[in-house]
Amino acid sequence: MKTKKQKRQGDFQKIQLKVGKKKPKADNATNVNFRSKAIHLPEQLKHADSGPTTHRQLDIKDLLSKLHHINSNIKQGALVGLRELLSAQPTLIELHASAVLSEVAALFTDKDGSVRAAAVRLLRFIAQCISAERVAPFFPLLSAHLTCAMTHISEAIQEDALRVLDVLLEHYPGLLSQRHTVLLTNFLELISQKRKAGTGQDKSGKGGFALTISTNRSVTAQQWRLTVLLRLGSFLQAVVEERPLEEGVTSMIGLGMWAGEKGSVTSVDVSWEEHVFGKGRIQVFENSGAVPTPHSTYRLRPDSKAVAGMNKELCSAETVQGFAGTLVPLMLEIWVEAAGGDRVQTDSGHLLSAEAMALMFQILTILQLLRRLTPQRDQQDILDAWFRNSYLTDFKHHFMKNFPYGLLEVARHRKKADGKRIRQQQVATGTVAGGNVEPLALNVTLCQVMVTLSLRGQDHVEAEDADWLGTIRVFIRETLSNGGKLSSKHLAALLEVVWRMIVTQRSRVVTDDLLQAVYVQYQQRNLAVSVRTLLLHFFSQLYIQEHQNHPHIARSRILARWLASLPVQLVQLCSRNPQLSAQLLETIHPAAARGNKDLLQSLQKNACSIYDPQEGSVVVLPVESQKRLVQILHFLPTFPAELLACLSQVCNTGRVSASLATMLIRTIHLRSPLSGWSSSSQDVPVKDVDYLSFFFTTLTGFSSEMLQALQDTDEDGLMPSSTLSPLSVFTTTLEQFLHHWDVVEEVCHCLDTLGSRAQCFDVIQNAIIKNLCGLVVVPDCVCAAILRCVPRLLDVNFLPSDTLLHFLSDCCLSMLSLLLQLEQSARKRDAVWEACFAAMSTVPRLLRLVLQSLHVGDLCEEELPVLAQILSLLLQHTQLRNHMMANASLLQHIIQDLTHFYGGETREQWLTDLLYCYSVTLSGHRANMGMRDIY
């Protein structure tokens, strides 16, 4: 018990506090001897998933919400922040495209200039990042805001709206061009205002708009108009270019009219080899061929639907007329102001400031584009007629008034007088938007616009137009023929004007006048390749396309002269510029096919240089051009002997592929009356004598000079003559041999199809005897060729002369021993064997002669194995077996001699082989005989 009491006391022990003593610390007292530091929390904590932020820690939501802030500085800051954020994190753009675009677009009409500028900058940045397809859904919104800004009452906002337009034009021309209905009127309102209905100004036919002049702009009215027109020009350009291309609609203006025909059906192209070996499977007909392709112009009844859908698009003549009806009068007013405001004196009305010139150039460009808005040809004609009816007098009055002494004179005059100062001025004024426009560009564009107004060949109109067309003609002639070099852009425009004038005016004088000027330009030396190509293209298309329809073009002397100069140019050009040569050939070929006399004469004259085997075009140009050249041969009026000599060498030198050489040979074959193809033969393009000598020369492959030179050389390739090889054979390279082999094949084929085989063979035989029989050194390909052609051409009833047969037997023996002694490629060996055996089996006398010439006694020891090999080869050949049997006694004699003269103790392999072959052949023969005896 006591313990319990003690314990209780221990728990609640009372501590007595006394004065002067320290108070003991309580057990639960806090130890405060530590130091603490402050923790700063300058920002509030963010959620972890808030995403990236700007350097001010603002995320995209904050920034977007700040765009609605009333303070413009904050708005601008938010725009800058957005740009920073989006450039750091490009992925955000795609995520928030809708929000960002709609907010930014809303700021196009902000009343603070810096905010608008920042908005435009942001838009430009975004536009660089997002493709047109992704913007397309938001584009109605963008364009609505753009329209809003363009029609805004504040002029500063209008000006900035054009910057927005610039950005959109640069990046989304296609999308923007779809909004033309709204935008075009906006453009009009930027520089003009609607007249009041009551003023009754419409009588003057100048539309319902009047130019506005506001005094409180930062720029002059002219500059403002220039900026607007620049944008309008580029907008129309976008409309023209971004239009989905329709089938069969080629813009007939500009160089587009020279574009070649485009097949809208992809045709199947196969070659025979591919087809035969199953690679080129052909499936020609869609829908089993029952339905024609949709491109067919053949309609059983006219399509009524096609017309209805046009109106909405800006491509029918009516819509363009509607717009042009208001725009053109405005532009005329601007023109008048630009021209008149500058100089008051009438005598120097053609001198313009750079700014006015830029303005005028823009006006003309827009006029040109307006015309191009209609893609269809018929619509374009309607539009042209409309322009002519409505505005010809105005245009003539305003545009052409100062043209004759013209703007070109300005440049000249200035350069002469005080060129340096003017140039400084130009530099100074050139900073105006729209840049500096060359007077030449302005003039040329003016010509282009005016010329479209001239109508196609109607006599009463021609007289009317004569005055202003005359001045244009003079200008063009002088520009082209004053010897200056023109850039390809200006030249293209000038050529277009020339083309149009030639086609519309239908007068031979005009045509020759203009073409002469172009020809002068063409004849200049050292033209840039692009310019040269352009000129060439102009002439060739003029010839090919318009030749038939317009007799005045066909009769033009200049065109004839140009055509006649083409072959000469081809020769001169040589291999320097294959593209240009190919282009020349593209004209020469159809012109030759059409039998153009001038061209053919000139071609005939230059044929020997074009087809020269050493440096003629036919050997130096690439394969495609070579092929064309060979095809052109087909149209040559006559083939004189020199040309045929050239061609024969071309076939054999190996610089033309074997297939092309074959084509060449066939062409000559077909042109000859001997081939029996061309029935009407008043004039003989290839004389029979020339024809045969061509074929013989091609057959041998060596000209007589070359053969003669060969007799005296002692090269490595030469095999000396011996008993086994009566001729000393000159071995050619494998490449040459095979090429020649292919050529020989074609020659044989052509000669084979001639009418009278006996006469043909007689001629060839005489040629061989005359040209080849006396030779000591003969190239192996010649031997092979002769051996090849003789059996093919030999008529059954014709007896070949002894001289020929002796020569053939020499050839045969020489070739056989050559093959056995030298290492040859398999192809060559096969070819030669085939030729030899074919010759010997067709002409049995030849085999006999070969055997007779084998005098074993004259041979030296080393040659015996070769002889034995030749004999066994002959014996092994089945086709020859019967003929060998016919000469059995001769054969037996040779073999006896062979074994007799071979003095070796051991029986060599070659001898065993020969004896084996001999016995097999003979036994087979005897067996046959035996069988025959039995029956």
**Contacts to another protein by CB under 8 A:** 261, 263-265, 267-273, 275-278, 281-285, 289, 292-293, 295-302, 548, 589-590, 593-595, 628, 631, 634, 659, 663, 666, 670, 675-677, 679-680, 749, 752-753
User: Angle, nearest 10°, between helix axes 597-610 and 641-653?
Assistant: 50
Measured from the CB atom, the residue of 147 and 675 that comes closer to another protein is 675
In three-state secondary structure terms, 654 is: coil
**Facing residues of 719 across strands?**
729
Least CB distance to another protein at residue 651 (A): 17
| Residue closer to another protein (CB basis): 91 or 680 | 680
Q: Among residues 294 and 903, whose Cβ is nearest to another protein?
A: 294
Q: Per DSSP, what are the bridge partners of residue 209? A: 194
Bridge partners of residue 777, in order along the sequence: 728
- Compute the least distance from the CB of residue 628 to another protein, in Å: 7
Would you say 276 or 706 has its CB closer to another protein?
276
Q: Which CB, 593 or 920, lies closer to another protein?
A: 593
Q: How far is CA 866 from the centre of its chain?
A: 60
Nearer to another protein, 62 or 742 (CB): 742
Please identify, using beta-carbon distances, which residue of 270 and 528 lies nearer to another protein. 270
Smallest distance, another protein to C-beta of residue 291, A: 8
CA distance 167 to 146: 11
How many Cβ atoms sit within 10 Å of the Cβ of residue 343?
A: 16
At its nearest, how many Å lie between another protein and the CB of residue 743? 15
* Residues 115, 747: Cα–Cα separation, whole Å: 85
What are the tokens at 248? 């069969």
HSE of 851, CA atoms in CB hemisphere, 13 A = 26
Give alpha helix (H) positions in 506-556.
Answer: 508-523, 529-546, 551-554
Report residue 724 as tokens. Answer: 């086994």
With tokens 């059409």, the residue in question is: 594
From the number of C-beta atoms within 10 Å of its C-beta (0-12, 13-18, 19+), residue 254 rates as middle
For the beta carbon of residue 442, count every other beta carbon within 10 angstroms: 24
Nearest to 128 by CA among 158, 88, 171: 171
Whether 573 and 550 have beta carbons less than 8 Å apart is answered as no
Both tokens assigned to 623: 């394969």
Minimum distance from CB of 333 to another protein (Å)? Answer: 43
Helix (H, G, I), strand (E, B) or coil at 779: strand
Distance in Å, CB of 304 to another protein, minimum: 13
> What is the 8-class DSSP label of residue 719?
E
Nearer to another protein, 91 or 288 (CB): 288
Nearer to another protein, 153 or 290 (CB): 290
571 neighbors 609 (Cβ within 8 angstroms): yes
Q: How far is the CB of 593 from another protein (least distance, A)?
A: 5
Per-residue HEC secondary structure of 199-239 comes to HCHHHHCCCCEEECCCCCCCCCHHHHHHHHHHHHHHHHHHH
User: From the CB of 666, what's the least distance to another protein, in Å?
Assistant: 6
List, as one string, the DSSP characters of 864-884: HHHHHHHHHHHHH-HHHHHHH
Q: How far is the CB of 749 from another protein (least distance, A)?
A: 6
At closest approach, how far in Å is the CB of 267 from another protein? 4
Q: Which is nearer to another protein, 746 or 810 (CB)?
A: 746
User: For residue 526, is it left (φ>0), alpha (ψ between -120 and 50) or beta?
Assistant: left
Nearer to another protein, 484 or 551 (CB): 551
The smaller minimum CB distance to another protein, of residues 373 and 636, is found at: 636
Residue 274: CB minimum distance to another protein, A: 9
CB of 495 to another protein, least distance (A): 23
**Residue 390: its H or E element:** helix 377-398
